[in-house]
Chains A and B, each alone.
Chain A
Amino acid sequence: GAVVSQHPSWVICKSGTSVKIECRSLDFQATTMFWYRQFPKQSLMLMATSNEGSKATYEQGVEKDKFLINHASLTLSTLTVTSAHPEDSSFYICSANEDRNSPLHFGNGTRLTVT
């Protein structure tokens, strides 16, 4: 089945630094990947849609300059949290599917802690 790999699984960084999270589709090509954020005991909230070869589409209220997304190849999307602050601490999860008619598969998430 389709596998989505996310790295790192957890990261601790200091306030003001930037952190990059990678999302890879291991056995399929994904022209579109999706980035979610999840707070403790809450549901997943879509942050942005990553499009290969073009700009990402951000959901309302998500700062595109804060959360930089790069989808440089058909198997890799990256999310960079710039100038991180403690309130950016969260669980970030990516997902992808082979095409619009295929199920969405999720990575195992990245736990970001900003101190």
Chain B
Amino acid sequence: GENVEQHPSTLSVQEGDSAVIKCTYSDSASNYFPWYKQELGKGPQLIIDIRSNVGEKKDQRIAVTLNKTAKHFSLHITETQPEDSAVYFCAAISNRKYSGGGADGLTFGKGTHLIIQP
């Protein structure tokens, strides 16, 4: 099955600096890569996603890049603010598993605790 690795597990950056979180996946059939932000005691919130037919997507201070050949994708947050502090999860969906019925095929990374230092 799919295996998603996420690094680092903890990331501390100064307010205003950029933060980068990286994920790798194993299943070449994966074709959809969402990123979720989870604040303490809440459910994950979708912040950005990318499909395998594009290499980069940007939404204001957040961007995601995808390298299909290397099977890795990254989340970039620029001009970080205190409210960016949270746990971020990457995920991958394998079209192969999804179309097979049953589970949704969404495999999560282990999460990155992002700390924005004032």
Contacts and interface: CB of A to CB of B under 8 A. Distances in A.
B103 A93 contact: no
Interface string A46-61: 1001000000010100
B79 interface: no
Interface in B29-55: 34, 36, 41-46, 49
Interface stretch (B13-21, B59-67, B104-112): B104-112
A32 interface: yes
A46 B97 CA distance: 14
Interface residues of A, number: 22
B103 A49 contact: yes
Contacts of A4: 43
Task: Tell me the interface secondary structure of chain B in the complex.
Answer: loop
Given A34-B104, A93-B44, A104 B109 contact: no
B42 to A, nearest CB: 5
Query: How many B residues touch the partner, as a band?
Result: 20 to 34
A43 B36 contact: no
21 contacts: A6-B43, A42-B110, A43-B108, A43-B109, A46-B104, A49-B102, A49-B103, A57-B102, A59-B103, A100-B98, A103-B34, A103-B46, A104-B104, A106-B36, A106-B43, A106-B44, A106-B45, A106-B46, A107-B43, A108-B42, A108-B43
Interface of A: 4, 6, 32, 34, 42-44, 46, 49, 57, 59, 93, 95, 100, 103-109, 111
Contacts of A111: 41
B110 A43 contact: yes
Nearest to A93: B43
B46 A44 contact: no
